Amino acid sequence: MEPVIVIGAGLAGSEAAWQLARRGIPVTLHEMKPQKMTPAHHSEWFAELVCSNSLRSNQLENAVGLLKEELRRMDSLILACADEHRVEAGGALAVDRHSFARAVTERIRSHPLITVVEGEVTAIPPEGNVIVASGPLTSDALAGAIGELFPESHYLNFFDAAAPLVTFESVDMDSAFFASRYDKGTPDYINCPLSEEEYDAFWSELCTAQEAEVHGFEDKQVFEGCMPVEVMARRGKQTLCYGPLKPRGLTDPKTGKEPFAVVQLRRDNAEGSIYNLVGFQTHLKWPEQKRVFSMIPALRQAEFVRYGVMHRNTYLDSPRLLDRYYRVKGQERICFAGQITGVEGYVESTASGFLAAVELARRLEGKPAVDFPRETAVGALALYISDESVTDFQPMNVNFGIIPPLGYRVKGKRNKNAELSKRALEYLEHLDLS
């Protein structure tokens, strides 16, 4: 059997190579380190964690905790190494990043069916099965080759700004209303009104909130093309009222009048379970986003499934390009995995590499694909990035908002999430992953 080519030995590429090899499929794993480094990487090891050493919550009441447990039960290399090299972090799974990366590297390099080739890949191989897991800092040469694979330029985006996302069920609709400006079209927006007093307090905190650091591998030019909401606020007390918080053409049904200011939420997925804060691209630290944006009355108890981010990041417009197995539509020999597909986060990247490899291995063995259902975290994530109804696609972490509801009421958010996780793991038990 011809080896599968995996490009990139980050979390997704390492997981993909391992899953293929443990199923008897030979792999050629290409990694440009240490011959060529990005500004974000500092070691020769595979699966290097370049930002936090935390893989986030380990609790089943959290969607990423569920995703971890699913991967554990399916013999994920990354989760096994993370568990072996964990450090105390309360309810989160954090690791000693150096021993973790060394462990992943040693297992990959010692597997008899994996051949590691060092050096930069500058083109998509013209034949054979390929998994591209080159990450959000894909080299310029390979990014150019990916662009040639998708000639329409909008298929390869440079992600520079995204507004926060919240779940619909966490929005206080007693403090909000559906409407479109001047009643044009259908009332698709959730409108969150603020009184003058509420706006003044919100504006004051927004102006003084702490911003995140700009890392060396981020492009400061990003912020010139898309102004953060906090920068806009500092230009004057009324600036937001003539920008993203403009109340014109919106009538609060409770008062019959235009509010002093309005924050609009726009549906982010077909099910209407997730909404984004319109015009709220931001570079604030995540805890600051939670603190300040929760001052908006309708969002006091909001569940943020993604915080706003502004940084350089290469990713695909996956709903137009990839299927639920992370394969290129019409060129199924080529798969993508990791953050370049639009999944956000360490564990999510691992899951994409896992699923792409499992599907490819089964196809090579003449077996039917494993259709992970939407009720599982692995399946929900894959179906989200391939959902053509998502028109304004942005990278996102796994969350319960993309998983179907239970269909019955459970009191308490933690209890409900625990039930969703229980259901997912029951589904997982009945899948044939051999």
Q: What is the predicted pLDDT for the residue at 153? A: 56
Q: What is the predicted pLDDT for the residue at 222? A: 46
Q: Looking up tokens 């990694």, which residue turns up?
A: 31
Q: What is the predicted pLDDT for the residue at 312? A: 64
* DSSP state string for 249-270: T--BTTTTB--SEEEEEEE-ST
Q: Cis peptide before 34, with omega less than 30 degrees from 0?
A: yes
Q: Give dist(CA 416, CA 406) in Å, integer.
A: 8
Helix (H) and strand (E) counts in the chain: 13, 17
Distance of CA 4 to the CA centre of its chain: 26
Residue 180 dihedral angles phi and psi, to the nearest 5°: -115, 155
Q: Helices in 60-157 by DSSP H: which ranges?
A: 63-73, 77-84, 97-110, 140-149
Q: What is the predicted pLDDT for the residue at 311? A: 63
Q: Give dist(CA 67, CA 85) in Å, integer.
A: 19
Contacts of 19 (CB under 8 A, 6+ apart): 77, 353, 354, 357, 358, 361
User: Which structural domains are found in the chain, ordered by start?
Assistant: 4-159+313-429 (3.50.50.60), 165-306 (2.40.30)
Q: CB of 355 within 8 A of CB of 362?
A: no
Is 308 one of the annotated binding-site residues?
Answer: no
Q: CB of 264 within 8 A of CB of 151?
A: no
Q: CB of 381 within 8 A of CB of 402?
A: yes
Is 11 one of the annotated binding-site residues?
Answer: yes
* DSSP state string for 369-385: P----TTSHHHHHHHHH
Q: CB of 44 within 8 A of CB of 368?
A: no
Contacts of 345 (CB under 8 A, 6+ apart): 56, 64, 397, 398
Pairing of strands 304-306, 165-167: antiparallel
Residue 12 dihedral angles phi and psi, to the nearest 5°: -70, -45
- Count CB neighbours of 362 within 10 A: 18
DSSP 165: E
Ordered per-residue pLDDT tens for the chain, 434 residues: 899 999 999 999 999 999 999 999 999 999 999 898 876 677 899 999 876 678 989 999 999 999 999 999 999 999 999 999 988 776 789 888 889 999 999 999 999 999 999 999 999 999 999 999 998 778 889 988 998 888 775 555 554 567 898 999 999 999 999 998 888 777 888 999 999 999 999 999 999 999 887 654 444 444 444 678 998 999 999 999 999 999 999 999 999 999 999 999 988 776 788 888 988 988 899 999 999 999 999 999 999 988 887 766 678 999 999 999 999 999 999 999 999 999 988 999 999 999 999 999 999 999 999 999 999 999 999 999 999 998 878 788 999 999 999 999 999 999 999 999 999 999 999 998 87
Q: What is the predicted pLDDT for the residue at 432? A: 87
Q: What is the predicted pLDDT for the residue at 214? A: 63
Q: Looking up tokens 């995204």, which residue turns up?
A: 162
Is 8 one of the annotated binding-site residues?
Answer: yes
Q: Give dist(CA 227, CA 242) in Å, integer.
A: 15
Is 345 one of the annotated binding-site residues?
Answer: no
Q: What is the predicted pLDDT for the residue at 262? A: 97
Burial tier of 246 (Cβ tally within 10 Å: 0-12, 13-18, 19+): middle
Is 12 one of the annotated binding-site residues?
Answer: yes
Is 245 one of the annotated binding-site residues?
Answer: no
Q: What is the predicted pLDDT for the residue at 168? A: 95
